[in-house]
Chains A and B, each alone.
Chain A
Amino acid sequence: MQEFTKGDKMVHLVQVNYSLLPVIHRFGIRLGFGNRTVQELCKLYGVNTDFFLAIVNTFHNKNFFPETQLLSFSPLLIVDYLKKTHAYYVSFSLPQIEDLIHRLLLSTPQQNSEMKMIETFYLAYKRKLLEHFKEEEETVFPYVETLVLRPSDIQNHNFDANYEKEHEHVDFELDDLKNLILKYLVPEYDELVCNKLMEEIYRFEKDIRDHSRMEDAILMPQVAHLLKVVK
């Protein structure tokens, strides 16, 4: 699969893969691209071009994960990006899925009250995910920022935020949600709502998988490395 470069026109990225638009937005880059290149627009919006490309290419190609390159970026860039993805999930993806599940279940026959459990399952999943985000934002991210900007302020040198297990858990439950709907939904439902819901779930699944991978494979090794330097 192709890899985008800084000389590509920004509009070309979206034309090739429309699902990159939310990622571009996440960096604060707005439409009205004209014929400007990735590099030109990144400069205009004060975005690190190499970092932007690494993220965009990771999204575009599921086999692309430039670990060495990502590790070379400042952890502050990574944290900033992770915060932006959290905000995107919290304000858009999660409420969107919630609304679609609600509408999907409203379109099923009312006597199938067991189907409501799918919504209960999702709400419990969402609550756990939000707790996880909150913990990262209140504990992990500030810690990383202090570690980079004021390393002498660091008291606890044995920081161990091993979220890999938790991420795996989140992954399982999202997978279960998909299977519960795909395999066990009653056949009477609004198919347009269902199509949209499944599309949104698959998109979110891919997004959050990349997000978790950034935390586990990039941010955590960076923290471990910085801690060694500080000691």
Chain B
Amino acid sequence: MGQKVIIVHPAELVRRGLVSALEDLQRTRIISVATFAEVRSEDYKAAAKLLLLVPVTCHHTSELLELRTKIGDHLFIGILLHDKEKYKTDHFDKVLRLDAPARQLREIAERFFEQDDTGLNDELTAREKEVLRLIALGNTNKTIAESLFISTHTVISHRKNITEKLGIKSIPGLTVYAIIQKIVAPTDISADQLS
């Protein structure tokens, strides 16, 4: 079981851009290929949820339809290069222009994958909690990035979101919050983390 993202696009730079917008989604594997023909059944067959990104001009209409029947919980996003491209709207759940902000795609994906991930006691996503835990343990942005396999840029953006959601800016403050919410145990914290 698991969550899968399949990115299909002939342009490598586009694929890379899409991967980086989605790379740190929690418990999600990303597969990125140039053409639809390269998508193999083992890429998606065990998936509980599938997010598929393909150019709207993708000709594999019947395969797309078949894929829908195989994975119950799916979201197909068509990528539109320019307004003049012709496509069938009913093939896609959403259409996104290539020049749309990465944040928009990110939000769609988060909504799709994390819609049942609403925490009881706070407003942080599972990923943000993980980042917060590592902050409280005294890690730098760089080591957090390394241990979560994401870029430092993404770590910084998580930190910004955490601070905005909690209204807590300082590292000692975030550490205390993490202890209060039982994200870390007080015994895991070194004394100088609060100073």
Residue ranges of A at the interface with B (Cβ–Cβ < 8 Å): 113-115, 117-118, 120-121, 124-125, 127-128, 169, 172-173, 175-177, 179-180, 183-184
Contacts and interface: CB of A to CB of B under 8 A. Distances in A.
A128 B170 contact: no
Contacts of A127: 195
Given A117-B186, A128-B195, A173 B173 contact: yes
Contacts of A121: 172-173, 176, 194
B85 to A, nearest CB: 48
Contact of A179 (B167, B172, B195): B167
Given A114-B186, A120-B194, A121-B194, A180 B180 contact: yes
A180 B176 contact: yes
In the A-B complex, the 7 residue pairs with the closest CB atoms = A176-B173, A179-B167, A124-B194, A172-B169, A117-B176, A114-B180, A121-B176
B67 interface: no
B170 A173 contact: yes
Contact of B166 (A113, A125, A179): A179
Contacts of B195: 124, 127-128
Contacts of A113: 186
A176 B186 contact: no
A19 to B, nearest CB: 25
9 contacts: A114-B180, A114-B182, A117-B179, A120-B176, A124-B172, A173-B172, A176-B169, A176-B170, A180-B168
Contacts, number: 55
A118 B186 CA distance: 12
A180 B181 CA distance: 11
A118 B176 contact: yes
Contacts of B194: 120-121, 124
A175 B169 contact: yes
A176 B168 contact: yes
A118 B194 CA distance: 11
Contacts of B181: 184
A121 B169 CA distance: 13
B177 interface: yes
B186 to A, nearest CB: 7
Contacts of B180: 114-115, 117-118, 180, 184
A128 B170 CA distance: 13
Contacts of A184: 177, 180-181
A172 B186 contact: no
Interface string B162-195: 0000111110110011011110001000000011
A175 B176 CA distance: 13
Nearest to A119: B176
- Which of B173, B176, B177 has the most C-beta atoms of chain A within 10 angstroms of its own C-beta? B176
A140 B177 CA distance: 35
A126 to B, nearest CB: 11
Nearest to B189: A117
